[in-house]
């Protein structure tokens, strides 16, 4: 039995037209669905549009951050040691006394030879004087008698302008007697300080 049975002829014609329109609409809808299945749509300039936030070349791959801080410099030169200042003693080396310092000059004078002569009435006085001088560090090389004249007082004689002068004056000051240049009778005697002791010599006495 047909769906159009029982209908009038005009109504049958209208139904057939409706069915045809529905079929045409279905066909057009299917074509539209097939043509719109692509993911790219033309933009305003006719080029494929891209999604917001995506760069034209596609998603970018992560990259390592670049450091802008330069590496610490390793070219610093070490500090040069300061040489010792001039006038200062070098560590590890012995220092020596300077000439002219107290005590040094007095000690250096004692290397000068000293000869002792007795011009007194006291036997062995020159030997006692020699022991006194040597005990104080003096270089006594001879002990004898002087009988060519009378010496008024114990005296140390020297040749002016030689080491004997400083030595004679030091020895005379140390043992409290006089120091004078050599007189004519002993002018040509051997080098060295000549001490002629008389009765006024006090054995063992030392002046200030």
User: Is position 192 within any domain?
Assistant: yes
Tell me phi and psi for residue 113, to 5 degrees: -70, 145
Across residues 164-175, what is the average pLDDT?
A: 97
For residues 119 and 42, give the distance between their C-alpha atoms in angstroms, rounded to a whole number. 148
User: Is position 205 within any domain?
Assistant: no
User: Is position 87 within any domain?
Assistant: no
Pairing of strands 113-118, 193-197: parallel
User: Is position 165 within any domain?
Assistant: yes
132: containing domain: 105-197
- 48-102 residue pLDDT tens: 444 444 444 444 444 444 445 555 554 444 454 454 444 444 433 333 334 334 4
User: Is position 20 within any domain?
Assistant: no
Across residues 135-142, what is the average pLDDT?
A: 96
Number of domains making up the chain: 1
For residues 140 and 127, give the distance between their C-alpha atoms in angstroms, rounded to a whole number. 10
Q: Residue 192's domain is classified under what CATH number? A: 3.30.70.2390
- 140-168 residue pLDDT tens: 999 999 999 999 999 999 999 999 999 99
- pLDDT at 21 (0 to 100): 72
- HEC string of 162-187 equals CHHHHHHHHHHHHHCCEEEECCHHHC
Residues 98 and 104 sit within 8 Å (Cβ to Cβ): yes
């Amino acid at each position: 039995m047909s769906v159009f049975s029982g209908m009038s002829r005009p109504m049958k014609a209208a139904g057939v037209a409706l069915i045809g329109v529905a079929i045409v609409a279905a066909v057009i809808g299917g074509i539209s669905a097939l043509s719109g299945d692509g993911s790219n749509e033309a933009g305003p300039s006719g080029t494929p549009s891209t999604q917001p936030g995506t760069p034209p070349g596609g998603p970018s791959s992560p990259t390592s951050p670049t450091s802008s801080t330069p590496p610490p410099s390793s070219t610093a030169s070490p500090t040069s040691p300061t040489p010792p200042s001039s006038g200062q003693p070098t560590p590890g080396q012995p220092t020596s006394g300077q000439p002219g310092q107290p005590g040094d000059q007095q000690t250096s004078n004692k290397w000068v030879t000293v000869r002792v002569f007795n011009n007194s009435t006291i036997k062995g006085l020159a030997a006692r004087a020699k022991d006194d001088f040597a005990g104080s560090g003096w270089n006594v090389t001879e002990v004898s008698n002087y009988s060519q004249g009378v010496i008024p007082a114990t005296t140390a004689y020297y040749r002016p302008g030689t080491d004997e002068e400083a030595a004679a004056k030091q020895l005379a000051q140390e043992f409290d007697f006089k120091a004078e240049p050599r007189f004519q009778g002993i002018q040509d005697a051997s080098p060295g300080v000549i001490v002629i002791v008389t009765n006024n010599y006090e054995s063992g006495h030392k002046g200030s």
